[in-house]
Amino acid sequence: MDFSWLSDPYALLGLLTLIVLEVVLGVDNLIFVAILAEKLPPHQRDRARVLGLSLALIMRLFMLAGISWLVKLTEPLFSVLGQSFAGRDLIMLGGGLFLLFKATMELHERLEGVEHSDGNGQKAYAAFATVVVQILVLDAVFSIDSVVTAIGMSEHLGIMMLAVVIAMSMMIMASKPLTRFVNAHPTVVMLCLGFLLMIGFSLIADGFGFHIPKGYLYAAIGFSVLIEVFNQVANVNHQRYLNSRNTFRSRTADTVLRLLGNAPLQHGNHHEQEKEEGPREEGEGAFAHNERAMIHSVLTLAERPIRVIATPRSDIHRLDISQDAEQQRKVLRDSPYSRLLVVGAGRIDEPLGIVARKDLLAQLLDGQTLDVMAALRQPLVLPEGMTVLKAMEAFRQQAADMAFVVNEFGSLEGIVTQKDLMEAIAGDFPEEHERHEQPALVQHEDGSLDVEGSLELVTLEQYIELGDYEDEDFHTVAGLLMHRLERIPRLGDSIREGGWEISVTEQKGNRTERVSICPLPRLEDEQH
């Protein structure tokens, strides 16, 4: 083969120009590859992209080598109603129809929230060979223009082949970051599908002999991309603004979690992330989710008020000294707790103190008359706005094991024990009498959750991202519902928050017992 053209500057300039044109003409191909690759399991996506584009490169080289055959594709094969059709026209028509079909189906699935699943309810992925074949088929269509352009730009086969090899190599290297970017931004995916519809229509028009200048298409694509760039910049600036509103402690917590090998916990469903990302490399994400959740809880102790971890007064077991001895014994016998709140005449707003069941039991075993006041103790008293961290210090200094939580009027709001403080860090520790109860948070395979209304938002953030509520007066899921509805929630009430639908599934009086949290379809996610 003659390589004397390498010393010709005009030939080198033509080579550079041809490379640029080949890359530009291959952008639409890359867009479709990015969308097709998402259909595969995460561990197969890179291999499918590289294999599909590599086979496409070999196919283009064969097409260049068979220039005489390719030229014949422009010769008319038959005519219909005075319109003649060549082989190239039929390829354009078939490719355009295929693009319209695939782009329309993709739009339907994404707008309607359709997600294929296997028999076990898991997300179903496309077959590896199917995706590779589709990449090849579409590349065969897109290759017509790029190969014809190469033939028109140069008469030297070596220059044409080298330009195609370099351009395809650049496309293979760019395909991975492009795929990640496109699939990570739903608005970009929709924009790309719009491009494919436009390209498919232009191919069909070209097949019928109505040539649409490529400049028009690229101008429309370029303008749309420019608008999307503004949109992405606006989103980044908005996220920076939200981050700047976070407290220094929250930003520190996020930084620490990143240093531990994972992103902050509030950035989505961790089960879905693990399934999408596949197995982690050694040293990456070395801390398990429950370990990171515990660290996150510790780092937010100074922001969470004591009232959100307290047992509300409506749930407190109490002993009323105004009742007769037999009723008091019944309360002692039936209560599963070791300590009881002592009230007079049922006035729980102003409790008299607490009493240990073992002290009253000792009186009965010694043959004494039950005397609640003799065994009465005064617990630690904490304001409801005190943080969990300061409450821990108060427990430590006073050697207390229980505390009353009171509001600004001195009325009882709830009680806090050492166990509550431990659960604020490590999660629930169910007692024997609580084992039959539903867990505070149940996560299902489809990403939805079933939670208690009293669940703290800071705990929920470890599983899903709803929003930033640091400056709000509520701290629980029920509080969020009440704030958004501006009334007491009722059974069946629902709100939409941060891409999730939050519905009341169990209500007892004014208290929201259980709540269902389900992800919204993608389109609704973007609109709300």
What does the pLDDT average to over 9-24? 66
What does the pLDDT average to over 447-456? 88
- In this predicted structure, which of 160-164, 204-208, 330-334 has the lowest mean pLDDT? 160-164
- The architecture (CATH level 2) of 438-527 comes to 2-Layer Sandwich (3.30)
Q: Which residue has the higher pLDDT, 362 or 84?
A: 362
Q: How confident is the model at residue 135 (pLDDT cuts 50, 70, 90)?
A: confident
What was the pLDDT predicted at 243?
62
Does position 266 have pLDDT exceeding 50, yes or no? no
Q: Which residue has the higher pLDDT, 241 or 458?
A: 458
What was the pLDDT predicted at 284?
44
Q: What is the DSSP letter of 124?
A: P
Is-contact 491 510, C-beta < 8 A?
no
Is-contact 276 354, C-beta < 8 A?
no
Q: What is the DSSP letter of 76?
A: E
Question: Tokens 């629930």 correspond to what residue?
Answer: 428
Which pTM was predicted?
0.45
Q: What is the DSSP string of 58-102?
A: HHHHHHHHTHHHHHHTTSEEEEETTEEEEHHHHHHHHHHHHHHHH
- In this predicted structure, which of 101-105, 250-254, 463-467, 469-473 has the lowest mean pLDDT? 250-254
* 117 three-class SS: strand
pLDDT digits (tens, 9 = 90+) for 383-442: 998 999 999 999 999 988 899 999 888 888 899 999 888 888 887 777 766 666 677 888
Sequence-distant (6+) residues with CB within 8 A of 267 are: 465
- CA pair distance 143, 1, nearest whole angstrom: 25
Does position 357 have pLDDT exceeding 80, yes or no? yes
What was the pLDDT predicted at 394?
92
What does the pLDDT average to over 333-346? 84
Does position 289 have pLDDT exceeding 80, yes or no? no
Does position 260 have pLDDT exceeding 70, yes or no? no
Backbone phi, psi, residue 449, to 5°: -130, 150
Does position 298 have pLDDT exceeding 90, yes or no? no
- CA pair distance 56, 146, nearest whole angstrom: 12
The gap from C-alpha 523 to its chain's centroid, in whole angstroms, comes to: 14
What does the pLDDT average to over 337-355? 84
Share of the chain above pLDDT 90, in %: 8
What was the pLDDT predicted at 249?
60
Q: Do domains 306-433 and 438-527 have the same CATH topology?
A: no
- In this predicted structure, which of 201-205, 294-298, 475-479 has the lowest mean pLDDT? 294-298
CATH placement of domain 306-433: 3.10.580.10
Is-contact 157 64, C-beta < 8 A?
yes
Does position 381 have pLDDT exceeding 90, yes or no? yes
Helical (H) or strand (E) element with 257 = helix 248-259
What does the pLDDT average to over 156-162? 71
Q: How many CA atoms lie within 13 A of 399 on its CB side?
A: 0
What was the pLDDT predicted at 397?
92
The mean pLDDT of the chain is: 75
What was the pLDDT predicted at 505?
93
What was the pLDDT predicted at 371?
87
- Distances 310 to 320, 348, 366, 432 between C-alpha atoms, Å: 21, 15, 35, 19
What was the pLDDT predicted at 275?
44
Domain ranges of the chain: 4-212, 246-299, 306-433, 438-527
What does the pLDDT average to over 331-345? 86
What was the pLDDT predicted at 392?
92
pLDDT digits (tens, 9 = 90+) for 318-331: 888 888 888 888 88
What was the pLDDT predicted at 276?
44
Question: Tokens 């002290």 correspond to what residue?
Answer: 359
What was the pLDDT predicted at 80?
79
Please report which residue ranges of 432-502 form alpha helices under DSSP H: 457-460, 477-485
Closest of 415, 441, 413 to residue 427, by C-alpha = 441
Query: Residue 504 corresponds to which amino acid?
Result: V
Dihedral (CA of 23, 20, 63, 173) sign: negative
Dihedral (CA of 206, 209, 212, 213) sign: positive
